[in-house]
A and B are shown apart, each in its own frame.
Chain A
Amino acid sequence: MMTLLADTFWGTFTGPFRRKEFFQQLYFVANRSLFIIVFCVCFAAVVTILESSFHMKMVIQNDAMVPGFAAVLILRELAAIVTALLLCSRVGAGYASEVGTMQITEQIDALKMLGIDPINYLVIPRFFACVLGGILLTVVSNMTCLFAAMMISQAYLGYTPGMFISSMHRFVQFKDVLFAVIKGACFGGVIPLVACYFGFNCQQGAEGVGKATTNTVVVASIAIIVIDFILSYTFSYLY
């Protein structure tokens, strides 16, 4: 895994940049995942704000601050992590099966025979596409999440959008969006690295591809959660 990571970084500076492949992958990662991510994070935002309101009412009989801290929770954690886990399930599994199939059908060996570096050809475009896709999707999911929270707080909690934004003013900083974007980029970067690693080490047969896919989703999900903890801990010193 570390070798793959080092090769990827090395290939970033040395190898030719495959622009067309990069855009194809970015389209696959960002545009094709957009709907499912927006749909899911909206529901996650709704649950967050309703639960926050319920708990605040239970503790201090007042939910006036809920829009503010729910917005912080969405920006710092929820949108980025939900986006990353969904990307992991969709893109990571796709990459692992794709690269795994190429491995067992000896297409990767053929690439090597043709003098094409498989890392430069397969991993680097996917890596950059996932990093950029992670950033874009995190931004979009953050904003749609906040919008959904605003709508639901107006419908069920009685806070107008103006009150919601006013409450957000007290808690939200621009750093929150910035850190969410950094998280999105890191989560996005992990997915193709894990997927390609398991794809390159895929065992023969359909069972091997299935195992590689499963392992990718499991390991990438764990990696995302661990990286989330590390980044949150690091960012807590920067507030």
Chain B
Amino acid sequence: MTTNVGAPANMTPAPPPSPVSGSPRAGSGGVRSLLVKITLLGLLDAVVVYALFVLVMAENWVWFALAAVALLAINWIYLSRRKLPGKYLTPGLIFLLLFQVFVVLYSGYIAFTNYGDGHNGTKEAAISAIVEKSLVRVEDSPAYAVTVVEQLGEFSLLVTDPDGVVSLGGNERPLEEVDDAELEGDRAVSVPGYTSLSLGDLLDNQRAITELSVPLTDDPNDGALRTADGSTAFLFRSTLVYDEGADTFLDTESGAVYSDNGEGEYATADGEALTPGWTINVGFENFARAFGDEDIRGPLVGVILWTFAFAGLSVLTTFALGLFLAIVFNHERMRGKKIYRVLMILPYAFPGFLSALVWAGMLNPSFGFVNQVLLGGAEINWLSDPVLAKISILLVNLWLGFPYMFLVCTGALQAIPSDVLEAATVDGARPWNVFRLIKLPLLMVSLAPLLISSFAFNFNNFNLIYMLTNGGPRDIDAPVNVGATDILITLVYKVAFGTSTGRDYGLASAFAILIFFVVATVSIIGFRRTKALEDIN
């Protein structure tokens, strides 16, 4: 934050003289920049206009309106002779909207839906999936040779049944025998008045053709012919019939009626639901579940406490070690500082998730380096005892995190003017007092914000937990899949992508929002506090 102090001079838009600023009065340089501007703008317009066409085709009016307004605004800003601040701000603003605001709003929206396993599409998709699912190929039904034919844009199936009888039918038009079809071998390939579809035509109309359902007779219970490849059809019978008017499914075998139960699925009165369902808005239900569901609330308290303990202790231990080493290596009588410093930075140079994986191997009770080599063959269950696992996590995180603290502390220490320290020594202060009363407070001015962000980082330190223990060890008596070392973000991961209870993106998003509020609150309070520190300067 403090580095911005020198910047403002560059930030204020310099008035006209600059040749690249696109000033209308400029000479030949102005023409070139105008050309560049028009080209870039033209490219952008082309892409967005294409996107607008796509959005119209998709009938996505909200996004169409937003994109159109954005396009107009951008052209207005850049074609105008003024709006200089706007020209600078617009690109950043667009990226902010796309990559920050949209993502945040979208997670917020998901938190209010039941998006998850069994509810991950639209209602139309659910209806067609249920219909598809309930279509059963009639056992022992023979294969019918078919040719897809077209008349006035409507597709029909020209069917040669196994006995050689040729008939024609379409959607909701039962098969009718035809006698003037042209045969090729024992398969009818065309019929007067209709155009037979070539392979290319078939491929261009795949959806329509695979959805063709040709009733065998007037009685729907006799079943219908459907083709999956355009050349062979089989007899299918449906066990579920969708009634569009009443918005219900009727089970033709048991007589059960499934209706929209308002929870994004079709269910009978006694609660038996059809899968799949669809995504609907559920209001605050996910948030209510996070606190109200006994299975989630129980472990949640423990997880929250451990998350705070983990984040807090991680910051404390890494900061203490980093600061200690920084002071030691900052001493002028220390030899070989550079080599030590390079060695010290190494853990920071490896990717964190990789280090965590390696540590997981090193902590293996019978084969790990720690037990085998360092402890002479001891069989300590580092990662499968709840307390030891927590200690292991803190130790590994200490190893991973102290180099960063060492770096920033070294930097901050070197920024403390030496005359201040000299004056203290001259006044007779002992080293401990110099550290406690002068160095530390001065360090904290610049380091406190970093400690807060380090806390926020560790609060969501998914890599370490996931790679080292995966949240385990789990208490075998606990009803839910939450382990002793799970922090909030790994809990969210297990809820969202967990294999044990199915995915629940809605609930996971609700958790993510709650985590955001916790981190935001802690950070705001922290930054307020650090302002007080700045008075020391």
Genuine A/B complex = no
Q: Which residues of A contact B (CB under 8 A)?
A: none
Q: Which residues of B contact A (CB under 8 A)?
A: none
